[in-house]
Amino acid sequence: MPAINGTNTTPTRPLRPGVWAPIPTFFLPNSQDLDIPTLKKHVIHIAHANIGILLCGSMGEAHHLSPEERILVITSAREALDSAGLHSIPIIAGTGAGSTRETIKLSKEAAQAGADYSIVIPSGYFTGALASDRAALKTFFKEVSEASPIPVMIYNYPGASGGIDMDSDLIEEMAMELPNVCGVKLTCGNGIVARADRTVAVTGIAGTKWMMEKRYGYGGVCRRPLSPLSNQAGETLLVHRHVTDIERLEKEIEMQKGLERKHLKNGVTIPNGNGVTKTATNGVSVSSTTPSPSGNSAFSSTSNASSSPETPTTSDAPSPVLSSSPVTATAAALGKKTKGAHSRSGSLTSSIRSLVGSRKGKKTVV
């Protein structure tokens, strides 16, 4: 029987249902060297909130990182999690590169550095040759997944791959035929989280980092040539309805989790409607979960967060947040995949458009 989430290895840290946040890569403001202490702080903060860790993706500015820097980011995140006693938390790491050869090499190095899964986007440099060549795209993922020592996620983001847009038929074919493919990250979704994602995406990575700086006191700058977001554009973003909606939702979740921890300590049984019942024994939280199916049927989308996060954490962990910032839960898009289509940027206020530039029709990660 195939192993869960891939066949080239049996993961010691299986994927869990829930939200997986794309983690920004942090840089020192003057030298633009990696800011490893801030990265470690943020990774622990996110993991304590029951959020999965995804490194070196689009939000992580993987395109701006050297291969050595990608590996340092992965190694540092694994060290941070282990130092906080979060040994069971898996890491998904972006290993897509310009060629099949380099992607395979990065996947192997990421595994050695502590990544449990890779997420791979096709290179957009030769879009003219690849975008309409289904066989070439399928061969790319076949060769990468067969050579990768860790399970591989397909990443379909036309906006970051020169317009390469893999439809559902191709993705389903690869899911059925490539046993070491374990999931897919799509640019589709709807609902409160997805709307906030699309709104902030108009401002780019700089907008996400501006929000983080505002809310958490860290975020910093992007690597040049990406420019920082102006305070005027940031303040306009801050009061946008989609952003205030997600912040209201976060506050409700924080209150709910606070009550749950209080009830658990008092020995109250709490069903959550997702096959999980939590109770308390002598003040210690106990969880019983419905087993998930094994084999390649475990193929799932990181864009689907319909079930509650089950990443292990202590009952005294800090109150949860939905993502690396209030509005960057890319993996939390609460929508369904549509065949051969992906959602585009939603309607935004004219004030935001005038401040950050019109991006009509721009496809975004949600």
Q: Residues with catalytic annotation?
A: 185
For 137, the token pair is 């795209």
Instruction: Please say whether the dihedral angle defined by the alpha carbons of residues 68, 71, 77 and 79, taken in this order, is positive or negative.
Output: negative
The whole-angstrom separation of Cα 76 and Cα 40 is 7
What does the DSSP assignment read for 115-132? Answer: -SEEEE----TTHHHHTT
CA geometry: angle at 339 spanning 336 and 342, to 5°? 65
Q: What is the DSSP letter of 282?
A: T
DSSP three-state, residue 48: helix
For 182, 185, 190, 209, the CA distances from 171, given in Å and listed in that order, are: 11, 10, 20, 32
The whole-angstrom separation of Cα 260 and Cα 120 is 37
Quick one: angle between helices 192-201 and 204-216, nearest 10?
Answer: 110
Sort strands 300-301 and 284-289 into parallel, antiparallel or unpaired: unpaired
Task: Name the H helices within the chain.
Answer: 36-48, 67-83, 100-113, 127-130, 134-147, 168-177, 192-201, 204-216, 231-238, 241-265, 350-356
The H or E element that residue 152 is part of is strand 152-155
The whole-angstrom separation of Cα 287 and Cα 310 is 9
CB 64 within 8 A of CB 223: yes
CB 353 within 8 A of CB 202: yes
The whole-angstrom separation of Cα 171 and Cα 265 is 45
